Structure 1
Amino acid sequence: MNPPTLLTGWGRTAPTAARVVRPRDARRVADALAGAGPRGVVARGLGRSYGDAAQSAGGLVVDCTGLTGPVRLDPERGEVTAPAGTSMGRLIDHLLPRGHFVPVTPGTRHVTLGGAIAADVHGKNHHVESSLGAHLRALTLCTPDGRVRALTPDGDDADLFWATVGGMGLTGVVTDATLAVRPVETAHARVDTDRTAGLDASLDLMSRAEHPYTVCWLDLLARGAATGRGVLTRAHHARVADLPRPLRSAPLSHRPAALLAAPPWAPPRLLNRWSVGAFNAAYHAAAPERRRGRVQSLSSFFHPLDAVRGWNRIYGPRGLVQYQFAVPFGAEDALTDIVTGLSRAGAPSFLAVLKRMGEPTPAPLSFPRPGWSLALDLPADLPGLGRLLRGFDERLLEVGGRLYLAKDSRASAETVHAMYPGLPAWRRTRDRVDPDGVLVSDLARRLRLV
């Protein structure tokens, strides 16, 4: 029997110990589920959920990174099929030289396909393309009863398909999936950049954007008229004719690489209101006021943080808390209140990303809804952090906002239940395939999801 392993999420908070197994096929996944034990089991990919979604204290964790194998592209159907342990990076590396790209990518390459489905990840194009689940054509799910189920979004068990999308691994273990993909001419984007003077200007430009990809970095320490100032980037996929001549001979050449590594240890409070304030001011000032048509590699546009290995270590030994929320259109005042509250509190976040959100998938636990999403990272040892975020939770509840389960590490069960009205329906589907409660995580226990 494997000895317990201490696990955390990407935020490096709340470690718990569990036995870890690494099956390499669906049969061994079924064996792991059958031998879960009284503390249950949960799947884990590359560990990029920020909180406790892929931990199970005293239980069993199924490391799905062993579920690998051939990636099969069908260019005529515009679909790719891959094992669930395939990383988003490997999927992109396979597709781009063949003139295709994933329909949705989160902000890192380092997430498995199964994990991306479990979190129903979204990207910079949610306002036009929704989240990953909208492009998922089929998946194979291993459930605690030993069955291996082939699911589709409109098949006989569509309820289970949609309960799995965004279901945080609590309906079964995904072993492979088929995803729609898009043709591209190059491995580059054509990027427009605007430096904005405040939050209202950022929202206005984002509302009028016709680009398929839009994202805005915000300076959450700026005050007064500059509160919420930002750097807005919008992009299209570049065509061959858009590329500088030296790049046209190999337009699909794709070589992402981590260029730097964060130090293995950083002192507590390295990131504070003064150090982050100086960085934010310099970053905002260095951004072009208005620049059009810059050609940028897809890897640097979509996954800039991947260029720094282990960047989460710079938050120090206590780790970080990511707070990602969404508010509906018409509730921009709540967004303004939260941005202003962060500024007044001097909360040192240099990773603050604003996105415009579009139509959701039918998945009851999927996070995005039409409106605005803001994601920000804060040092976990920031004095008064818990009180500050609880106040924001209350403001979100007033306007029908919600938190992203894949990023959460500290919300209360009552808050999350009020934010997700589809939870009872999701539970009914989940209980049908797991009546004994075999599938459970630290997040599920903390939020009383199961």
Structure 2
Amino acid sequence: MQEIKIPELAESITEGTIAEWLVKEGDKVEKGDAIVELETDKVNVEVNSEFTGVVTEIISAEGEDVSVGDTIGKLDENGEAGASSGNEESKKEEEAPKEEPKKESAGESKQEAAPEQNNGNVIASPAARKRARELGIDLSEVQTRDPLGRVRPEDVTAHNNAPKNESAPSKPAKKEEPKSEKTEFDKPVERVKMTRRRQTIAKNLVEVQHNTAMLTTFNEVDMTSVMELRKQRKDKFLEKNGVKLGFMSFFAKAVVGALKEFPLLNAEIQGNELVIKKFYDIGIAVSTDDGLVVPVVRDADRKDFAGIEQDIVDLGKKARDNKLSLNDLQGGSFTITNGGTFGSMMSTPILNAPQVGILGMHNIIKRPIAMPDDSIEVRPMMYIALSYDHRIVDGKEAVQFLVRIKQMLEDPYDLLLEG
């Protein structure tokens, strides 16, 4: 008999939640087969069988939290498909208790144990308890005249013979008891356990608020030139590259250009040192049913627009299908998030620690804008936001960084040529 254990997954993952068993008791599995899907704080991971055999017992059910090294099931290398010792044991356990209720002569001590549990701290003589069982009476409803509160047989008899309207006053007290166990809500609510990933997201966001000096600065971008350029090039771009020309590649290229001019926004703090990164791995926030994840476009400075767009499409699909690997999520140097896809007009994005900068994109809205010649034109405008860690980035640098992005997006032809 072999134990099915949670293996070492990655250096940063020590525990998870069983999302789904891919096999059931009695199934035959081969060495290397995926047998269970584990939800971790970063990605979903399939655990493969280390042996060939039959699953005889599933110890940890779906939804249970487990740690590396925990035994979650058992496998018989010599077993036959359809056999399950776990099922046999459960059958024995189900059969065993059936014999106990038949032993009515086992004495009153065992029989009295149940009424004591049902009736809380009620004090009653053995004879009174026996009489209450015979009449089907709850001892907690019986009133006694004993000064010490002890219920006697005659009290049970009196309770049984009393008219129903006389015994009724004792019932409301029982109905009121559960109120102390209810929540603070008087109206219906639903309680849903947070997923491990959502718990981790919540924990990380709170830590960022506590451990950084986060500020946000805003600007606005006239998207006219970007939209005209996309309109001119989108058909040829799609035909040539097999992927659509979106807004994100423009912003990714503009971010890389601005990071080269303001390198402290491409850094992180380690102890008393600044680690200034000489690479440009840009995280792109993606919304999924389980929460926000940030897969990383590697070496965005070396990719053209088509390469960035293809990476974004591929990573987005993997995120929604829960197929992201740890490598897809680790090591980003700066993050872009686009709340505009959901209609957000303005927001203050939270840093993706240990990064010190995140750019927020928002909805494009046509607004009347005063032009340099004092004329008024309706232009497609977008508010952009930069949240930054004020411990290492000064306000001047942050504002200039955002202004530089604005300048490149309002004159995107150089970006496209450089790309």
Task: Please give the range of the TM-score, normalised by the shorter of the 2 chains.
Answer: under 0.3
Task: Name the TM-score, length of structure 1 as normaliser.
Answer: 0.20
Larger-gyration structure (1/2): 2
TM-score, structure 2 as length reference:
0.21
Give the number of the structure whose residues are more often helix, by fraction: 2
Q: Which has the higher contact order (CA 8 A, sep 6+)?
A: 1
